[in-house]
Amino acid sequence: MDVARLVELNAAYARVIDNEQFEEWPKLFHDPCLYKVTTAENVARGLEGALIYADTRGMLEDRISSLRKVNIYERQRYRHIVGLPVVLGQANGTAEVETPFLIVRIMREGDMNVFATGCYRDKVQPDASGALRFAERIVVCDSRRFDTLVAIPF
Amino acid sequence: MDIRHDETPESIAERTATSDGLWPEDSLARVPYWVYQDDANYKREMQRLFEGRTWNFICLEADIPNKGDYRTNHVGIMPVIAVRAADGSINCFENRCSHRGALIAFDDGGNVGNQFRCVYHSWSYDLAGNLRGIAFERGINGVGGLPKDFCRDDFNPRKLRTTTLCGLVFATLSADTPPIEEYIGSEVLSRLKRVLNRPIRVMGRFVQPLPNNWKLYIENVKDTYHASILHTFLATFRISRLTQGGGVLVSPDGGNHSSYTIAVPEGANANAYKEQQIRSDQDGKFALADPSLLDSVEEFGDHIQLQILSVFPGFILQQIHNCLAVRHVVPRGVDKMDLVWTYFGFEDDTPDMNRRRLKQQNLVGPAGFISMEDGCVGGFVQRGTAAAGDEVSVIEMGGSTAESQATRATEASVRGFWKAYRRHMGY
């Protein structure tokens, strides 16, 4: 799989979240899919539990409608800095890809902090139109600590 | 202004303290805000509460199944080690070397074999926390070393009494803390046993640092009044509404509680939320695209679909449908705390039940559909009361006492917390 296209996919992913075009985010996944946010420690210990777990595009859409209409939290946004993808393997049209990320959280009053760093562990496949989409995106965070709350997906 | 040159952090804290610890009114329904702000009070809490006559959650028995397995945690701000001894018992002692005070163990856990060894100067401790070995104790070639009359037994780290209950490990520094069953009280104890009825399986751990005093989170946990009002998710999907069946049990000493929701139709009160125009009632306006995360099964055979239980001062057990977790509150300063989440299931879970639990874990934790608001609301109080140290909060729903009540439109268990708090603190 062409690394330039993976870079483009990651750039689109970061852009829709950072620009608060959240409704575009589920569209970057296949349906069904697997999206999980967990930690390196849980992965190392074989613990499956996750902060966020979605195995359908509907569950991703529910994350967005919940953060838009239901949940209460102080106004905030993210800035993703996404590193270069490394293709670990390819088989049957699916690429296994690993990409490091850093998320800065910007709070209402202007406080900025490094909210999360980690690695996206992905399975990427083209959809019917040939566009690359995530069959799987496991967000493996480096730290076990998640300050205050996580409303917006990583 | 008179500038003092001899100030220490302690004297500054004492001079700038907003209070001498005097309670303004003799009512459980009024709590002064300095209690969340005052450094001197925070220090007193560590000594009188956490290091006093209380049982503190340390770890799960499942964390330390074999001899030499240990896990570290905190009792208040005191670092502690819990370790499985050769005879299968669990010992707990302060994680502080008797020599220079370094941490004896500086990881979350592991296996130490027969002894702990401090990395700084290699003083070693057996699995009961007794000082056993001192490097170069006799010096080298008769020069240096410790005096001949040095008595190791006088220099053990502080030991805690430990107890286990349904796979949970608790510890106390006081010889006077009553047995755990008596401490929790029979009613709340039966609710704890109803969930922890067989061997558990840890599914994941996360830490959620919160920008508020530790007590604001404990109050939130005990506050059955807010749950379905702040948390839209609960009300919209009828996971928990005050108009559903349920209530709150408060232990006789006030410190422990169990609130619960029963899965029965609401009947005549079904429109109460709409009539009161409560924001959290989005019924009809908000529907899940994939409702599979609400696909729960009756697991405990008693129609209790939601139960939140707390043991004073900092332990919480949660059952929200099939989503189970323990939460541990660790103070990190007067206006900071860590909330440590351990998600669990049971060893005999089927693959279907495992997947159900994974889906329902979306409801809780730092990113929980239900619980994320609890992460910020304590900080809102901490900031909102910044200039109000001498003002009081009003905790009067359901009266001024702390008895069990057959409704959750009450703050009885919050008052129970303050009843226990004031007794331990001598306020």
Percent of chain B having pLDDT more than 70? 87
Residue B282 has pLDDT above 70, yes or no: no
Min CA distance, B202 vs chain A (Å)?
A: 7
Q: State yes or no: pLDDT of B278 exceeds 70.
A: no
User: Where do the CATH 3.90.380.10 domains begin and end in chain B?
Assistant: 185-425
Q: Span B158-169, mean pLDDT? A: 98
Secondary structure element (H or E) that encloses residue A139, with its range? strand A132-141
Nearest in space to B155 (alpha carbons), one of B106, B118, B119: B118
| Predicted pLDDT of residue B230 | 87
Of A99-103, B233-237, B292-296, the least confident = B233-237
CATH of A3-141, one of 3.50.50.60, 1.10.10.350, 2.60.40.10, 3.10.450.50: 3.10.450.50
Structure tokens at B195: 């969930």
Please state which of the ranges A57-71, A74-88, B373-387, B398-412 shows the lowest mean pLDDT.
B398-412
pLDDT value, residue B279: 56
Mutation test of the interface with chain A: which of B72, B205, B290, B343, choosing the one with the most A Cβ atoms within 10 A? B290
* Contact: A62, B203; criterion CB under 8 Å: no
What pLDDT does residue B3 have?
Answer: 46
- Over residues A21-40, the mean pLDDT reads 98
Residue pLDDT, tens place only, B34-60: 999 999 999 999 999 999 999 999 999
| Strand order across the beta sheet in which B124-126 lies | B115-117, B124-126, B131-133
Contact criterion met (CB < 8 Å) for B205 and A42: yes
Instruction: Give the range among B40-44, B122-126, B283-287, B327-331 with minimum mean pLDDT.
Output: B283-287
Residue B388 CB-density burial (10 A; 0-12 exposed, 13-18 middle, 19+ buried): middle
Burial zone of B16 (CB within 10 Å; 0-12 exposed, 13-18 middle, 19+ buried): exposed
Q: Which residues of A touch B285 (CB under 8 A)?
A: 69
Determine the distance from the C-alpha atom of residue A35 to the mean position of all C-alpha atoms in its chain, rounded to a whole number.
7
Tens digit of pLDDT for each residue in B69-78?
999 999 999 9
Positive or negative torsion for Cα B60, B62, B66, B68: negative
Contacts of B203 in chain A (CB under 8 A): 47-49
Q: Which of A137, A111, A138, A106 has the alpha carbon at shortest distance from A124?
A: A137
Q: How many helices (H) and strands (E) does chain B have?
A: 11, 19
Q: Where are the domains of chain A?
A: 3-141
What pLDDT score was predicted for residue B15? 47
What CATH fold (topology level) applies to the domain B56-165?
Rieske Iron-sulfur Protein (2.102.10)
Question: Which pLDDT tens digit goes with each residue over A64-94?
Answer: 999 998 899 999 999 999 999 999 999 999 9
> Is CATH 3.40.50.1360 the right assignment for the domain spanning B185-425?
no
pLDDT for the residue B19: 54
Alpha carbons B68 and B88: distance in angstroms, whole number = 10
Search chain A and give the residue with CA nearest B292.
A59
Q: Which residues of B touch A146 (CB under 8 A)?
A: 206-209, 366-367
The two three-digit tokens of residue B82, written as one number: 């819990």
Query: Which of A29, A42, A61, A149 is the best residue to mutate to test the B interface, defined by the most B CB atoms within 10 Å of its own CB?
Result: A149
Cis peptide before A85 (omega within 30 of 0): no
Query: Chain B contact for A39, CB < 8 A?
Result: yes
Residue B274 banded pLDDT, cuts 50, 70, 90: low
| Residues of chain A with C-beta less than 8 angstroms from the C-beta of B206 | 39, 51, 144, 146
Instruction: For an interface test with B, give the residue of A22, A72, A142 to mutate (most B CBs within 10 A).
Output: A72
Asked if the interface predicted TM-score (ipTM) of this complex is over 0.95, the answer is yes
Is the pLDDT assigned to residue B24 strictly greater than 90? no
pTM of the full structure? 0.92
B248 φ/ψ angles, rounded to the nearest 5 degrees:
-140, 130
Residues on chain B bordering chain A, Cβ-to-Cβ distance under 8 angstroms: 202-211, 230, 232-233, 236, 282, 285-286, 288-290, 292-293, 338, 343, 354, 358-359, 361-362, 365-367, 369, 372-373, 375-377, 379
- What is the pLDDT, as a whole number, of residue B101? 96
Q: Is A51 on the interface with B (CB under 8 A)?
A: yes
Helices (H), B290-349: none
Percent of chain B with pLDDT over 90: 75
CB pairs under 8 A between A and B: 119
pLDDT digits (tens, 9 = 90+) for A84-127: 999 999 999 999 999 999 999 999 999 999 999 999 999 999 99
Percent of chain A predicted with pLDDT > 70: 100
Tens digit of each residue's pLDDT (9 = 90 or more) over B262-273: 876 555 555 555
Higher pLDDT, B5 or A42: A42
Looking at chain B, the domain(s) classified CATH 2.102.10.10 span 56-165
